[in-house]
Amino acid sequence: MTRSIIRRSRQVRVLATLGPASNTPDMIAKLFLAGADAFRVNMSHGDQASKVEVIQAIRALEKRYGRPTTILADLQGPKLRVGRFAAGRVELAHGATFVLDRDPTPGDASRVELPHREIFAAVEPGARLLLDDGKLVLRVIDHEPDRIITNVEVGGTLSNNKGLNVPDVVLPMAALTDKDRSDLAFAIDQHVDWIALSFVQRPEDLAEARKLIGGKAALMAKIEKPAAIERLEEIVELCDGVMVARGDLGVELPPQAVPPLQKRIVETARRLGRPVVVATQMLESMIKSPSPTRAEVSDVATAVYDGADAIMLSAESAAGDWPVESVAMMDAIGTSVERDPMHGDRVRFTETRPDPTTADALAEAAKNIATTVSAKAIICFTTSGSTARRVARERPSIPLLVLTPQMETARRLGMLWGAHAVHTRDVDSFEEMVAKSKRMALRHGLAAAGDRVIIMAGVPFRTPGATNVLHVVSIIGDELHSHK
């Protein structure tokens, strides 16, 4: 029996988070068929053992649908939380004095434990402390080695173990906790494709994760701290991909500051040739409703127009009532936007100047030639995926078919704009390269008899990073029949 091959008609990727509402093999398959190109496994929830079957279910889709699957393991990162209260919760009044200290005794309306030594050393008078996703705001008046004295600027109810954000200070904290190191080792053992590092503040935060990954997965930096914006370009240069994590970013910054920063992060990542994901609350109302608000649709569409590589669902697909419908809506929005005649102009509004390399020059040329000769697809042969990333950075108006002998590369490219990756045997000669390109274009429905396709590769073959060939060929139409 011939397996069916799934190929998306849109260029932007859809990343779906798995959770209680969607972590069974049946639901994972439904999300895939609805449009999910990649799956996020959130290491913040559940134990490692429960994720083994989830990962296996994702991989099972490969044989069933003839397409490499993509898995991103999202590390929790250093979560800052206050301690517990004697009564479980307290009311903090506006203008009151409230103390955070190192005393583990259950707190009251005047004080509570803060079990994070690093904050006491770094905080300064005037700094804000945000509690419970920014619902309560404290302003530091004074601090001692074991006490931080604050004024309550925005009061409210504060209960046990609520989260704490420190937006005005770069904290001297390692980006990886002991839990993260354990989860990272587990994820590598399970052969996931991407590792997302939470709460990146500076380029140095990426070093330990990169070392522990050891080249066995791609590294994605989550931009969710204001401090990261100050060194954004350095961070993007040192990672393999970027996520605009608007949740905590929106807590630590005024809401109106997030949209321009989102555009800046997307533009920086695109300019430097790194896949970029826009995430958090994209279709938030679909957690409970079968349809989104018009504002949410517009929000997703904006990310697509800006040229983001992927748009992500969080609770909508992980814990909501309508996970399949949420993925289908993302798919529909992306498809609709890309059919807009103005989409191409808008998505290429970001200027992506090629680096002074042969590979970059050929990638830019491939996009221009495709328009001139009305080619139907760009086909690139790659081992590491770098050629595909260079072409995708140009945002060509036609599909990108990526042929690679490395399954790991094919899987990682599931996060890349427009890439349809195929795991296939490598070629040994120019003639074989041309013949295989034609067959693959026909087999995957990218071209028909009389169409032109553009081929990119490196000669000598099997040499990573040697892209130096651009070739335009015409499809006859009988290439599949003549191949045995």
**Active centre residues (catalytic):** 40, 81, 222, 280
Residue 397's region, left for phi above 0, alpha for psi from -120 to 50, else beta, is alpha
Encoding tokens for residue 481?
Answer: 């029949």
Q: What are phi and psi of 99, to 5 degrees?
A: -115, 135
Strand partners, 152: 138
The DSSP result for 140-198, as a single string, is EEEEETTEEEEEEEE-EEEETT-BEE-TTS-----S--HHHHHHHHHHHHTT-SEEEEP
Q: How far is it, in rounded angstroms, from Cα 9 to Cα 386? A: 23
Residue with tokens 């509402």: 21
CA distances to 147, 150, 168, 250, 253 from 125, in Å: 12, 9, 11, 23, 19
Q: How far is it, in rounded angstroms, from Cα 406 to Cα 423? A: 6
Q: How far is it, in rounded angstroms, from Cα 68 to Cα 407? A: 7
For residue 276, the Cα-to-chain-centroid distance in whole angstroms is: 6
- Amino acid symbol at 189: D
Contacts of 355 (CB under 8 A, 6+ apart): none
Q: How far is it, in rounded angstroms, from Cα 307 to Cα 275? A: 10
Encoding tokens for residue 347?
Answer: 């998505």
CB 323 within 8 A of CB 27: yes
Residue with tokens 């998505």: 347
Helix (H, G, I), strand (E, B) or coil at 41: strand
Q: How far is it, in rounded angstroms, from Cα 115 to Cα 101? A: 8
The DSSP result for 401-460, as a single string, is EEEES-HHHHHHGGGSTTEEEEE-----SHHHHHHHHHHHHHHTTS--TT-EEEEEEESS
